[in-house]
Chains A and B, each alone.
Chain A
Amino acid sequence: MLKIENVTTHYGPIRALNDVSMTVAENEIVCLLGGNASGKSTTMKTILGLVKPTSGQVVFLGERIDGLPTHAIVKKGISPVPESRRVFARLTIRENLEMGAFIHRKSPDFHIRDEMAKVFDLFPRLKERVAQDAMTLSGGEQQMLAIGRALMAKPKMIIMDEPSMGLSPKLVGEVFEIIQQVSTMGIPIFVVEQNLRKALSIADRGYILNGGRIVLADTAKNLLENENVIKAYLGE
C-alpha cells in the first residue's frame, strides 16, 4: 500500500535518512523504532512531503507521492496523528474534528455528521465536551481527539508519530489498545515509536532505524525475541 524505496533525505549538508526502504501492506500495523536522532521523524516528514527526499521514491497506492505538496499527499488518503498530539488548542473539539475532514469539504457524498458520530462512538468522552476548547482536555483526551481527527478524513492509512509521548504508562497501554481497535476497522497503521516493547506487542512487523539506516526488518514477534539487537540499538 505504502512503499518507500531507497529514500535518502538531507537537511542541508546533513544526511538524516540513508537509503531507507520499507513497506506497509493492507490491514497491517507496522512500527518504525529507533532512538533519538535515528531518523524516525524525518521518515514521517518525508512521507508527508514536509521535507523532500534527495533520492529514492515514496509510492502510495501505486502512485508516486514524493514531490507533491503536503496538502495533496494527505488528500490521497494518508492521515497523520502528529507528534505530541498537537490539537488546535483554541478551537473547540467539534472544530478540531471538522478540520480532520477538511480534505472532504467539496465532496458531496461525504457526510460530516455521520463521520463525527462514528468518532463519538469510539470516544464518548469527546462527545460530552464537543463545544469545549481542545486546550481544556487532558493529555489522554487530546490523544483521543488527535486520533479522532485523523479518522474524520476517512483515511486509507494512518501514520502516527510517537503516540506514547508524554503520557503515563497506564495511558500508553490504553492508547495502544485504541490503535489495535482502529486497525480492526481495516485501516493500516504506520507507527513511529520509541517505546519498543509496547509498539512491538501490537504490531505485525517492525523496522529498526539507527543513524538514518534501517538496520533490521522483521516480524514483531522475531524482533521481540531478538534481545541482542534490542540491547545494541536501543540500549535497553
Chain B
Amino acid sequence: MNKTRLDDLSGGSQATSGDNFLQQGVMAALAGRLARFSGIGKIALLCVFLMLPLMIQSNYAMRVIIYICLYIVLAMGLNVVMGFTGLLNIGHAAFYATGAYTTAILMKQFGMSFWLTVPAGMTLGVVLGVAIGLPTLRLRDDYLAMVTLGFGQIVYIVANNWMGLTRGPRGIADIPSPFLGWGDWAIPIDSYTAFYYLIFSFVLFTIFACIRVRDSRVGLAWTAIREDEDVAAVMGVNLVLYKTMSFAFSAALGALAGSFFAVFQHFVSPNSFTILESVIIITIPIIGGLGSIPGTIVGAVIMIGLPEIFRAASEYRMVVVGAFMVLMMIFKPEGLFGKKQFQQMYKA
C-alpha cells in the first residue's frame, strides 16, 4: 500500500497555509500578530505603560485605569476556568472576596505586612478552590454553574453575617497602605501613581503566569477538556484533578486581585462581592473572546473603561453598554479575539 493512496483519504478540504484571515476573522489574526510582536515592540509597549502616570494628570483617569488593571487580573483568572477549561463559574467574586478579606483582616487585626497577606490570600483562595472543586467538578455544565452560583452566595452571606471576623455589613475600614522596603527606607504606596505601579506589576505577573500555564502540558489538557471532556478522559486526563487545578489557579488570581482591592480602597465590605460583581467579571472574557489573553485585556478596557467614558450620558450609560453587548452577541458571538466554534464556521 503506497502513500499516495493514503493521501487520497483526505477527501476535499483545502490547505490554508499561513493566511487564515477569512477563517478566524480579522481580530483573531490580529491577536496572532500581536503575540508574534517583536521583542523591541513589547519593550516599547511596556515603556508606554510604565510612563502612563507621567502623562496622565487627572486622578480620576488614573483611578479608572487602576480599576481596568484590577479587572484584567480578575478576568484573566476567570478566563483560565471559562476560556481554557470551558467551565462556567458564576461565583468568581467569592475568590476575589477571599483575597480582600484575608488582606484586610491580617493587616488590620494582626498588623501583618501586605506582602505576606498576598500569598496568604492566594493560598486560602487555592484551598477554597480545591474544597469547592474536588466534590463538585464531576458535575457538568449547568449543574456546575449552579454550584458556583451557590458558592458565591455562601461567601457573600458569610462575609455579611460573621460579625466577629468581618464586621458584617459595616465592613472593615482604615486598612493601612502597604510599604515598599524596610525601616527608614520604607516607601508608602498611597498615591494613585504608586498603586498603578503595584497593580501593573500584578497584571504583568498574571499575564506571564497565564501564558506559561497555557503553553504547558497542563494548559493543553485544559483545552482538551474544553473541546471534548470524554475524549480527554480516554486520552488519559484525570478530569477531576485537572479541573480542580484549573479552579485553584483561577482562585489564586482572583484572591490576588482581592488583596490589591483591600489596600487600594482601604475598606472592604460585602457589598463589593455580590453576584453582580461575578456577572461583570464574566462578561469581560466573553466580550474579549473566551480563552484569549489579549481579548481579556481588551474586554476589561471595554467593560470597565467604556461606562466611565459614557459617564456624560449619566443614567443612559448602562443602556449604551447593554446595547453594545447585545450587538456583540449577535455579530461576534465568539468575542473580539475568540476562536470561532465549529458550528459558527459553517453557518455563514
Contacts and interface: CB of A to CB of B under 8 A. Distances in A.
Contact of B12 (A88, A124, A138): A138
B348 interface: no
Given A69-B238, A82-B234, A171 B13 contact: no
Interface stretch (B43-51, B218-226, B279-287): B218-226
Contacts of A89: 227-228, 341-342
Interface string A69-97: 11100110000101000101111000100
Given A90-B341, A123-B6, A174-B6, A71 B230 contact: no
A100 B13 contact: no
A133 interface: yes
B36 interface: no
Contacts of B12: 138
Nearest to A184: B1
B186 interface: no
Interface residues of A, number: 48
Contacts of A82: 230-231, 234
Interface in A108-137: 122-125, 128-129, 132-133, 135-137
Given A102-B236, A105-B217, A141 B13 contact: yes
B232 interface: yes
B92 interface: no
Contacts of A193: none
Contacts of A36: none
Contacts of A66: none
B292 to A, nearest CB: 12
A192 interface: no
Interface in B4-29: 5-13, 15-17, 20, 23
Chain B contact residues, majority secondary structure: helix
A91 B7 contact: no
A137 B3 contact: no
Given A71-B233, A99-B232, A91 B11 contact: no
A102 B221 contact: yes
B217 A102 contact: yes
A130 to B, nearest CB: 11
A91 B227 contact: yes
How large, as a class, is the contact surface on chain B?
35 or more
A89 B224 CA distance: 9
A178 interface: yes
A112 to B, nearest CB: 10
Interface of B: 1, 3, 5-13, 15-17, 20, 23, 217, 220-221, 223-224, 226-228, 230-239, 339, 341-342, 345
19 contacts: A70-B234, A71-B238, A88-B231, A89-B228, A90-B342, A91-B220, A91-B227, A99-B221, A103-B236, A122-B6, A124-B7, A125-B6, A125-B9, A125-B10, A138-B11, A138-B12, A144-B9, A153-B236, A178-B9
Given A88-B223, A95-B223, 12 more contacts: A71-B237, A86-B228, A86-B230, A102-B217, A102-B237, A125-B7, A133-B339, A138-B10, A141-B11, A153-B236, A168-B11, A171-B11
Interface of A: 48, 50, 69-71, 74-75, 80, 82, 86, 88-91, 95, 98-100, 102-103, 105, 122-125, 128-129, 132-133, 135-141, 143-144, 149, 153, 168, 171, 174-175, 177-178, 180-181
